[in-house]
Structures are given as C-alpha cells and as structure tokens.
Amino acid sequence: MDSFTPTGRTQVRRYPNRGVYDKAQVYGILDEGFLCHVGFAVDGQPFVIPTGYARSGDQLYIHGSAASRMLRTLHQGVDVCVTVTLVDAFVLARSGFHHSMNYRSVVVLGKARQVTDREEKLNALRSFTNHIVPGRWDEVRPPTDQELKATTVLALPLDEVSAKMRSGGPIDDDEDYALPIWAGIVPVRTQMGEPLADGRVPDGIPAPDRERFRR
C-alpha cells in the first residue's frame, strides 16, 4: 500500500485538509528530521522525552543506554506516541489571531519491541549513524560486543501513522487586508556550519564536506 489507513487515533480531525497519509510524504518528513519526542505514561505519570531516531524501511528505531528508564519501560509493551515536527516558516498575519507557522509533522502510535537480533541491531545502529552523516558508518570503528550489550535498540513499526502539514501565507479577515500592516511568511531553515575538529585529529585528515549533511 502507498498510504497509511487512518484509524480512530490517527485521523486528523481539526483542519482535516491538512492531514496526510501518503507514505512517501510521511517517510520524507521522518528522513529529513533528526529529533523526535517520545510520549508514554508510567503509573499515570506522562513523560515526553526528546531523542534521536532513524527510519529503516517500515520501522522507526530509537536507542540509548541499557539503563535508560524510557527504553526499559517501552520494551515492556506500553503504548507509545512518537512525534517529529519540522518548522518551515513563521506566518505573519495582519492580526495576532491569525499568526501561524508552516510546518510538517508526523505522529506514530504503537508498541515498541526490543531488538535482540544482532544483525538487525547493527543495521539499526548503522541507520542512526548514516541518518546524521550519510556514509559515516563505513568510516568509523564498528561497535564492540560490550558496546552492543550496553546499548538498547527499540523498533516501532510504522503501522498507525499520520502526518499534518500547513503551507502558504496568512489567511486574514477580509476587512483586515486594507490595513497598513506587512503580512507574509518568514522561511525557517536549518543550516550546517563548518565542521570543527576536536583538537586530536591527526594532520592530513580532512573534515567531512558540508554537502554530506544537506537534506
């Protein structure tokens, strides 16, 4: 299937015209982002934790220390909500009420499983590394058995998923268009700076080309 089937939990109800279920667009948002927020509840107490992630096929992976309370809780099968949001522009209207933002967001619902298969775990870690810098995994030392043991990887199937987007300029009240007030959008972009060595790189080792970081 090329699209996700909306469920009672993922159907976009407010501004339904902004809802997106096309897999290519959803995966494009996930692949462009770097940070997700993981929401879950423990004994009635909600938590929302920011963390890195990577997508490989129809799986979303998160990882961290084996001692992480979040990861130890999630692999017990609790319900989880993962969100990724990209801000594209500030939308400046002629009234404060109609100010907004252009954005693209994804919500993933489900239950995470712990990745125990060694090859899948290595593939997930490769995906994390290459998500930041394409091709980086092949340049660095592979993880040791002890490092693999100390790292927990969880997989969340991309089954119950939806996206929501806003684009375009402000939508003002008709009577406000005659006001002498500037209105429009201010684009928001993430720009990579020049790589800075840590001071212990041997002479003659070039820094990664900034073009590798571009999405």
Rounded distance between C-alpha atoms, residue 111 and residue 78, angstroms: 6
Q: Which whole number is the average pLDDT over 95-103?
A: 98
Quote the number of domains for the chain. 1
Residue 45: give the domain boundaries: 16-87+101-167
Residue 23, domain member (yes or no): yes
Work out the pLDDT band at 215, boundaries 50, 70, 90: low
Whether 95 is covered by a domain: the verdict is no
211 assigned to some structural domain: no
| C-alpha–C-alpha distance, residues 104 and 75, integer Å | 28
In CATH, what number is assigned to the domain containing residue 138? 2.30.110.10
Yes or no: say if 47 and 70 are a contact pair by the CB < 8 Å rule.
yes
214 pLDDT above the threshold of 70: no
- Is residue 189 situated within a structural domain? no
Whether residue 4 lies inside any domain: the answer is no
What's the whole-number average pLDDT of the chain? 94
> Residue type at 115?
V
Question: What does the pLDDT look like over 58-74, one tens digit per residue?
Answer: 999 999 998 888 998 99
142-171 pLDDT tens trace: 999 999 999 999 999 999 999 999 999 999
In a domain, 161, yes or no: yes
